[in-house]
Amino acid sequence: MLHNEARRLLVQAYEQTHDAQTVAKCFQVSTSTVYRLSGQMKKTGSVDLQTSQRGRKPALTEEDLQDIDQLIIAQPDITIDEIIEKQGLSISNETVRKAVIGLGYVYKKKSFYAAERERVRCCGRERSLEGNDHAMRSGQTGISG
């Protein structure tokens, strides 16, 4: 791999001689590298390494994250599937879940068991569970008058 200075010298040499094979031999690269760097110079005006364009690009843009944040603010009990549907996103649930957590929200999954626990208890049984110990020990039940 050529460093930025060597790349500039290679392109200068090619522009002066227009002989890709000789330039390639001098810099110990292939002729396709000479043509590629020359084309990059014409296209972008630079032959520097483009390290910022490496790696996997994020699936969600900054605008998508802001839209998801607005959806959650408007409807706090929205599900991941509803976010994907409303935004028209073509990404996995896990990606959206990680984005929601990254925005600082806590993702809670409501289970069937948790829904059952929200039932109102029977009044009589609730009293016996929360009644004082003295009434239970003495066998007295009900309201005394």
Tokens of 120: 């109102």
- Domain assignment present for residue 53? The answer is no
Q: Is the pLDDT of residue 140 over 60?
A: no
Q: Count the domains in the chain.
A: 2
pTM over 0.75: no
CA dist 13 and 20 (Å) reads: 9
CA dist 41 and 35 (Å) reads: 10
Q: Residue type for 56, please?
A: R
Tokens of 108: 């809670």
Same domain, 113 and 134: yes
For residues 105 and 78, the answer to whether their CB atoms sit within 8 Å is: no
Same domain, 12 and 71: no
Q: What is the pLDDT of residues 40-94, one digit of tens each?
A: 999 988 888 877 777 888 889 999 999 999 999 999 888 899 999 999 999 999 9
Domain span at residue 28? 4-47
CATH number at residue 39: 1.10.10
Same domain, 41 and 72: no
Same domain, 96 and 124: yes
